[in-house]
Structure 1
Amino acid sequence: MKVLFIGGTGLISQAVSKLTVEKGFDLYLLNRGQRNDFVPDGAHVIKADIRDAAATAEALKPFEFDVVVDWIAFTADHVRVDVELFKGKTSQYIFISSASAYQKPATQYLVTESTPLANPFWQYSRDKIACEELLMNAYRNESFPITIVRPSYTYGDTMIPSALNSWSHPWSLVDRMRKGKKIVVHGDGTSLWTMTHNTDFAKGFVGLLGNPKAIGHAFHITSDEVLDWNQITRSIGAAAGVKPDIANISSDFITAFSPDSVGGLLGDKAVSSVFDNSKIKRFVPGFVATVPFHEGIKRTVEWFEGHPEKCTVDTAWNELMDRIVEAHEAGRQRANS
């Protein structure tokens, strides 16, 4: 089976690309060729920028694919281009949406694929919802063969996952822990969450490739392990060899200092989210997530320590955390005086 990944070398997709090749698929990656370290042996690279539709169409002329997966479509315009490029040219188009698209605030903590899609806090999530709506219309009205996948917080070697960390310099959190600085955890740290290792996600995802029963369906693929944010933070600390000094601070207080975090907190991680994975298990028999967070995050910390050039620190993020902690402590002192 010939499969095209648009992207394919990102945090989640790199593990899927590797497993796809191992399972015997003929994998092609269409991207700009800027992350070749994460191209698995046996995969073919088509160098093109998907944002240039004409150039992409030209680059794809010699090829036909049984399955197309777009890992880097974020807006309705992006998927509209995909529909035009691949209509009548593939048996399955898989769109990578986001579990953050599920209803916020939630009416119940257990999330299924039928949970409504609505997120007034995060434009990223609303854009993903718009993509899903466009694709569902293309499926209903034009028989465009879609499958929708909604990852939740998925991590791997190159990401230290936390509700509050520097995206571009994820080692910043471990560095802060090892220096004994306070680690900001939103709320009282007891809201429930699910962390999924990218190798576990890959097992469920690869089972959907070329699966005719998956056409027209949406899935999330997560671990069944449920942790609260204090536990997650302590597990990261344990992997780093330290006990983190946790400062529990309300999400509203944090977002007042960091408006950029409104979407990620109020629109996602501040709300308890536990996922019912019954559907992916029905469509991919035998799928089970096997990497507990304490093991996965240990692998991640060890990977960073083996790549010291990646152990960079975000000074601006550190200073923001310091300001939040100082302002919170000053407020508590005034309240107690």
Structure 2
Amino acid sequence: MKILVIGGSYFFGRVFVMLASKEHEITVVNRGTYSLAEFGVQQIKGDRRDEGVWRSLEGNFDVIVDFCAYEPGDIARVLDNLTGKVRQYIFISTVDVYERGSGGRRGEDAPLETRIFPGEAGAYIAGKVALEREVREKCAEKGIHWTVLRPAILYGPFNYAPRESAYIKMMVQQHVLPRITDSKGEFQFVYVKDAAGAVLRCLLNEKAYGQAYNLCQDQVMTYGLLAGELKKAADVDVTVLSMTAEEAAERNVPLPFPVTQEESELYANDRSRQELGISYTGISEGMMKTYRAFKGVYVQA
């Protein structure tokens, strides 16, 4: 299968390329910050906003997997300028597209957010919502099948965002682990290899055509549960430091997950499990693998 990957050198995309390159012919278009040569793929350096990048690609692609569309027009620009045929477009969206504050675990048919929130987070959500509409409309115009994947909070090896890795760094280098005592926030993770596996299961899968899927683990996490899982994963002596969210902020301890109940949003994964056959990695196993991966990085730092 010929697959065009947009993005793909960082976290989620990199893990997908690592897995997909074992069986498929992969072309990657990105800014070339990190090389993917070791995986035997063709890597083309370019800015996705440059129409000439897409016009320069020759031949047909069975599937496009788009990891880095954020602004309206990002998908249309690709499909309007490619000269070859495409059978399926897989757009990586986010669970953040759902209307906030409606309660319960949101399934894929829940309404999407129509409000515009301030700041970078608001622009990110608005962009993803607009692009979900764009991929449906543009693919219908071009006669291309589309699939949307909405991952929850991704974690695992190669995560460049200072989330779980920030705590692992403190554990390995300072032998301390913050535990937030007053947080009421709840959130869901998805292990990056599970998310990459979901993309693989969607490739030219007729069941996935015209569908959106939440990607998230069943277990609802809190800061307390996260600290417990990280403590279990540790193979070094670690002192747990109990502190409030306010004290954490004063000490410059990162709080990358929802802290309050009002910030919390939860999601259902029934469709991805039933239609794609995904079996999600448990948090203990996933956090153990993540700890081991990052320990090797931080011990050498």
TM-score, normalised with respect to structure 2: 0.81
Pairwise CA distance, 1:244: 2.8
Q: 1:51 to 1:160 in 2, by over 3 A?
A: closer
Q: Secondary structure at the match of 2:39?
A: coil
Q: CA deviation at 1:269?
A: 9.2
Partner of 1:271: 264
Which residues of 2 match residues 313-332 of structure 1 at below 5 A? none
Could you tell me which of 95, 100, 103 is aligned with 1:104?
A: 100
Alpha-carbon distance change, 302 to 15 in structure 1, aligned in 2, over 3 angstroms: same
**Partner residue of 2:50?**
52
- 1:44–1:247 CA distance, 2 compared to 1 (3 A): same
Distance 1:141 1:127, change over 3 A: same
Q: State the SS of the aligned residue for 2:130.
A: helix
Decide whether the 8 Å contact of 1:12 with 1:156 is kept in 2.
Answer: no
Counterpart of 1:90 in structure 2 is: 86
CA offset digits 1:119-176 (Å, max 9, x no partner): 6543211111011122223345554432111111111212387xxxx46xx7543344
SS of 1:79's equivalent in the other structure is: helix
- Cα distance between partner residues in 2 of 1:189 and 1:87: 52
**Among residues 194, 200, 208, which one is paired with 2:194 in the alignment?**
200
Q: Which runs of 5+ in 1 are unaligned?
A: 312-337
Among candidates 264, 274, 278, match of residue 282 of structure 1: 274
Return the match for 1:234 from 228, 235, 238: 228
Q: Greater shift after overlay, 210-219 or 264-273?
A: 264-273
Alpha carbons 2:59, 2:83 under 8 Å: kept: no
CA distance in 2, matches of 1:75, 1:180: 41
Mapped partners of 2:290, 2:243: distance in 1:
24
**2 CA distance for matches of 1:7 and 1:267?**
33
Pair 1:157–1:203, CA change in 2 (3 A): same
> Counterpart of 1:13?
13
Q: 2:288 aligns with which of 291, 298, 305?
A: 298
From the superposition, tell whether residues 29 and 139 of structure 1 become closer, same or farther in structure 2 (CA, over 3 Å): closer
Q: Does 1:41 align with 2:39?
A: yes
What secondary structure, in the 3-state scheme, does the structure 1 residue paired with 2:64 have? strand
CA distance in structure 2 between the partners assigned to 1:21 and 1:39 by the alignment = 11
Q: CA RMSD in A?
A: 3.4
CA separation in 1, counterparts of 2:27 and 2:288?
A: 31
Is the CA contact (8 Å cut-off) linking 2:214 and 2:269 kept in structure 1?
yes
Distance 1:55 1:26, change over 3 A: closer
CA distance in 1, matches of 2:260, 2:188: 15
List runs of 5+ in structure 2 lacking aligned partners.
none
Q: Distance in 1 between matches of 2:78 and 2:42?
A: 20
**One-letter code of the match for 1:276?**
A
**Residues 269 and 81 (structure 1), Cα distance of their counterparts in 2 relative to 1, 3 Å cut:** farther
> Is the 1:160–1:300 Cα contact (8 Å) retained in structure 2?
no
Matched residue, 1:29: 28
Q: How many residues align?
A: 291
Residue 308 and residue 201 in structure 1: after superposition, are their counterparts in 2 closer, same or farther (change >3 A)?
Answer: same
CA distance in 1, matches of 2:274, 2:165: 37
My pick for the range that moved more, 26-35 or 3-12, is: 26-35
Against the structure 1 CA distance between its residues 91 and 189, is the aligned structure 2 distance closer, same or farther, given a 3 Å change threshold?
A: same
Per-residue deviation, 1:296: 2.0
Match of 2:178 among 173, 183, 188: 183
Contact 1:174–1:237 (8 Å) recurs in 2: no
Identity of aligned residues (%): 23
Residue 77 (structure 1) shift: 2.4
CA distance in structure 2 between the aligned counterparts of 1:34 and 1:230, rounded to whole angstroms? 36
1: distance between equivalents of 2:40 and 2:103? 44
Structure-2 change in CA distance of 1:120 and 1:97 (3 Å): same
